[in-house]
């Protein structure tokens, strides 16, 4: 899968997703300090699933009407371990959870909620 890791997404999780064969672009690595609008536009343009710990993307997409990327995975709280975010994403993929077209929120527990983007 193609992901875009927001600047706040843990580096060890980026590495773990890459080691599992996923294409992960990283704002921290190549566009540090980019605005939320710029990150969202990039996810849309490159057709990447946005991985973030920033709740502003829900506001941008659902309240302000910005064009949504293929999917968003929002981690509501900082993961308990640096690789936990990647493990949660890998578990979702392994379980056959549909990410595309969804705004997925992962809370501690983990409690997972999905909302359609369209």
Output the pTM of the full model.
0.94
| pLDDT the model gives residue 89 | 95
Per-residue pLDDT of the chain (118 residues; tens, 9 = 90+): 999 999 999 999 999 999 999 999 999 999 999 999 999 999 999 999 999 999 999 999 999 999 999 999 999 987 778 999 999 999 999 988 899 999 999 987 778 999 999 7
d(CA 2, CA 65): 23
| pLDDT the model gives residue 83 | 93
d(CA 36, CA 15): 23
């Amino acid at each position: 899968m193609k992901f875009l890791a927001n600047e706040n997404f843990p580096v060890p999780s980026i590495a773990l997703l890459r080691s599992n064969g996923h294409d992960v672009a990283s704002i921290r690595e190549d566009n540090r300090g980019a605005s939320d609008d710029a990150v969202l536009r990039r996810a849309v343009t490159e057709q990447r699933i946005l991985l973030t710990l920033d709740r502003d993307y829900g506001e941008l997409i659902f309240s302000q009407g910005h064009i949504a990327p293929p999917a968003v995975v929002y981690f509501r709280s900082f993961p308990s371990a640096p690789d936990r975010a990647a493990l949660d994403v890998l578990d979702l993929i392994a379980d056959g959870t549909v990410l595309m077209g969804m705004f997925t929120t992962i809370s501690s527990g983990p409690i997972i909620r999905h909302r359609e983007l369209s």
